[in-house]
Structure 1
Amino acid sequence: RYPDVTDAINRKMESGVLILSYTGHGGELGWAHERILENHDINSWSNYDNMPLFLTATCEFSRFDDPDRTAAGEFVFLNPAGGAIAMLTTVRLVTSGQNKTLSTNFYKVVFEPINGAMPRLGDICMKTKNLSGNGQNSRKFVLIGNPAQRLAYPKHLIVTDSINHGVVSGLNDTLKALSKVTISGHIERKSGGKFSSFNGTIYPTVYDKASPVATLGNDPESNIKTFMLQKNALFRGKASVINGVFDFTFIVPKDIAYQPGFGRISYYAENGETDANGPYEDFVIGGTSSNIEPDNTGPEVRLFLNDTNFVDGGLTDENPMLLAFIADEHGINTTGNGIGHDIVAILDEESDNPIVLNEEYEADRDSYKSGSLQYPFSNLSEGTHKLSLKVWDVYNNSSQVFTDFIVAKSANLALSHVLNYPNPFTTYTEFWFEHNRPGEYLDVQIQVFTISGRLIKTINTNIITQGFRPNPNQWPSLQWDGKDDFGDKIGRGVYVYHLKVRTPEGEMANKYEKLVILN
């Protein structure tokens, strides 16, 4: 089994891809002898807003005419929470050589316009099959989906105009390690001419040179294959587009591959109504800058679970989101070139299973000095967990932060870290607590008693929070002025309060704590 492969597929489905292509062994129950994709994975997808086109060159993955079984490919298309928008897929046994031919022909046509417009799914299927010949293998591929639909192709173009304020000129444009680089460009209408009314956001990714990658050859009968892949990102950013024009700045990491070679910039831009994309590859990466500012300090890192209300030792459910905010004077290293210089999270001190988060980091809008990353955990065991996060800047200075958290299964309502602050207080305090039901309506009751048990104050409110820790600044009903139910001040002393939280289904959790009033 290869659980890392399954995890990578599931994560890509959730984050969003345009096309998911698989060529290899498979069947009605999933992909590969190692079961890298099975029905329970497919049914767990919740990617309703970013469903891809599937190309599955594998045996009978979508055999829809078997009344005794729903095939895995059918589950992909029928998943009500996501799955695929359409599928070019197989319904019978197919052969590997002809599958390779068909897959190659698919990529020859899927991005080619027809009479000035991007192809519809029916056109893609027809042209792919026509190029692949009239044999039986092609007939076993069917289109499941709307043949009149088009994929979400970007509508307009992105053009690079200058690097370091000089008009782009190919080999004369060289990005060197630890040099400061500014790149500018514009959005161009598909019909031609600058799109001057485009105001929105551009997402540039600057890649180092392509590098060789080898297959693992885990199967004794498998031959190791080496291929070139351009995957090491020097910078992932976000910048403003104003009147069709943009620019962004970053510092090239120390961890580039130093031999000169062509890099690549991949752009995507959107303004809420339309979008654009485009690459730029006519520049060189290599060498070291002759003007390097000193830097011996690692990045500043703030680590949370789910949202910024989280505190060390806080409560969460079994599917928490790692959330980190990172800042550094010269930027963050995400290249993946240097050994040990990745952004890495370690859960429960299992250093043999590092979670590499280079691709999850994104610089803040119009800044290379700060950014954030998110990573979803899933199905964590109940109880206490430890989490560390190590980050490197582009000068290869590192910082590491740690936090603990407690998982309470969401099947049972749970409370933790119940407190009031300030405590002691005179005329103002806030009630804080953590729960494991984010996104649900909760009835909250706080009752304050004297030491002898007399009820003097009751607070009833309803809340719904995206995180696990309601903030009294957002929910003023969790604030108290120290007065009783009749509006009178209560005397100084020690009091007991009872927090009760109830779900709409009637499930309840409660905690008792003490507070002190100073008058």
Structure 2
Amino acid sequence: MTVSMPSEIADNYRPATMVFSATDNSSDGASGCERGVYVYGMDDSQPLDTVAPVIESIYLNHPGFSDGGKVDQSPMLIARISDNVGINLSTAGIGHTMTLRIDGRESFNDIASYYTPASGSQAAGTINYPLTALAEGHHTLELRVYDTSGNEAIATLSFYVDSQLAPEIFDIYTDVNPASTQANFYLSHNRPDAVLGITVSVYSMSGILVWSTTVNDRSDMFTSAPVTWNLTDRSGRRVPRGIYIYRAEIVSGATRKVSPARRLAVTGH
């Protein structure tokens, strides 16, 4: 196996730690480390890398974000980056560390800890960095990333923080339609990795409430945790076959938003 190392490690003649992890097809995992290795020196035979990394996309909270758009006070910065050789995740090199700067003043140097490599052999991955307690009003941010040869890429965003901004629901859907035993409801939204209160309600075609439940759970980035309906009414009886209307309400802090209504067909037993 060949690994591209940051150039700053050339004179670091000290014991290093190599961490390994593995999974099999059944998702069982294993991990371990080796501390008896040394990493140092330079390979002068390697061609000079002058190609900068690429920030393929950068946005706040959701891919639908537009530069200058509104966000809540604790948005998540999401950026997809890649390089032809390797991304520098080291914090040892002064000036070559992944850095995020807000309004040209406040700097964050722990960005590499929030980087997730993409699967496969490509030198690419995603940064999911949570910002917290931003002040109301207009802001700018600047993201800097480096490759292992010290080449730099910069991307900027402007945005407006609105503390009263309601969460946006882009869609609500089920994993099955028609449903015969149960249905799992999912919401697509712009509150990534946030703890959300979600109420899903099911109505008859005549508008009578058949079933409703509220859950509080952490979302999986842009998608809520599943809310499961076992096709029974509020009395616990199995609902008859037919067409039902469902919708959801999402609550984040003091703000809330109601989804559009959708239809779900229920079959017989």
Under TM normalisation by the shorter chain, which class is it?
A: 0.5 to 0.7
309 and 412 in structure 1: CA distance in 2 versus 1, 3 angstrom threshold: closer
Task: Give the match's secondary structure for 1:358.
Answer: helix
Alignment of 1:109-508 (within 5 A): 182=1, 249-271=2-24, 273-301=27-55, 302-351=57-106, 353-409=107-163, 411=164, 413=166, 436-437=167-168, 464-467=187-190
Name the TM-score, length of structure 1 as normaliser: 0.32
310 and 508 in structure 1: CA distance in 2 versus 1, 3 angstrom threshold: closer
404 and 275 in structure 1: CA distance in 2 versus 1, 3 angstrom threshold: same
Alignment of 1:27-106 (within 5 A): none
Contact 1:317 1:437 survives alignment (8 Å): no
Contact 1:263 1:282 survives alignment (8 Å): yes
Letter in 1 for 2:19: S
Structure number with higher strand proportion: 2
287 and 507 in structure 1: CA distance in 2 versus 1, 3 angstrom threshold: closer
Structure 2: any 5+ residue segments left out of the alignment?
Answer: 173-185, 192-247, 259-269
Aligned residue pairs: how many? 184
Letter in 2 for 1:293: P
404 and 281 in structure 1: CA distance in 2 versus 1, 3 angstrom threshold: same
Q: How far is the alpha carbon of 1:255 from its aligned partner? A: 1.3
Query: 1: CA distance between counterparts of 2:60 and 2:114?
Result: 15
Query: 2: CA distance between counterparts of 1:305 and 1:253?
Result: 29
Q: How far is the alpha carbon of 1:354 from its aligned partner? A: 3.4
**Whose Rg is larger?**
1
CA RMSD of aligned residues (A): 3.0
Per-residue CA deviations over 1:38-82 (Å, capped at 9, x if unaligned) read: xxxxxxxxxxxxxxxxxxxxxxxxxxxxxxxxxxxxxxxxxxxxx
438 and 376 in structure 1: CA distance in 2 versus 1, 3 angstrom threshold: farther
Contact 1:256 1:335 survives alignment (8 Å): no
Query: 2: CA distance between counterparts of 1:377 and 1:504?
Result: 21
Contact 1:250 1:368 survives alignment (8 Å): no
Query: 1: CA distance between counterparts of 2:6 and 2:96?
Result: 11
Q: How far is the alpha carbon of 1:322 from its aligned partner? A: 0.8
Query: 2: CA distance between counterparts of 1:264 and 1:508?
Result: 48
Query: 1: CA distance between counterparts of 2:158 and 2:9?
Result: 34
Q: How far is the alpha carbon of 1:412 from its aligned partner? A: 5.0
Contact 2:250 2:257 survives alignment (8 Å): no
Letter in 2 for 1:279: C
Q: How far is the alpha carbon of 1:317 from its aligned partner? A: 1.4
Q: How far is the alpha carbon of 1:285 from its aligned partner? A: 0.7
The structure whose RCO (Cα within 8 Å, separation 6+) is larger is 2
Aligned to 2:225: none
Aligned to 1:7: none
Contact 1:313 1:403 survives alignment (8 Å): yes
366 and 503 in structure 1: CA distance in 2 versus 1, 3 angstrom threshold: closer
Contact 2:71 2:162 survives alignment (8 Å): yes
504 and 279 in structure 1: CA distance in 2 versus 1, 3 angstrom threshold: closer
Q: How far is the alpha carbon of 1:257 from its aligned partner? A: 4.7
Structure 1: any 5+ residue segments left out of the alignment?
Answer: 1-181, 183-248, 414-435, 442-462, 469-501, 510-519
Contact 1:391 1:398 survives alignment (8 Å): yes
Task: Give the match's secondary structure for 2:36.
Answer: coil
Sequence identity (%): 26
405 and 292 in structure 1: CA distance in 2 versus 1, 3 angstrom threshold: same
Task: Give the match's secondary structure for 2:74.
Answer: coil
Per-residue CA deviations over 1:113-138 (Å, capped at 9, x if unaligned) read: xxxxxxxxxxxxxxxxxxxxxxxxxx
Contact 1:314 1:406 survives alignment (8 Å): yes
267 and 438 in structure 1: CA distance in 2 versus 1, 3 angstrom threshold: farther
263 and 307 in structure 1: CA distance in 2 versus 1, 3 angstrom threshold: same
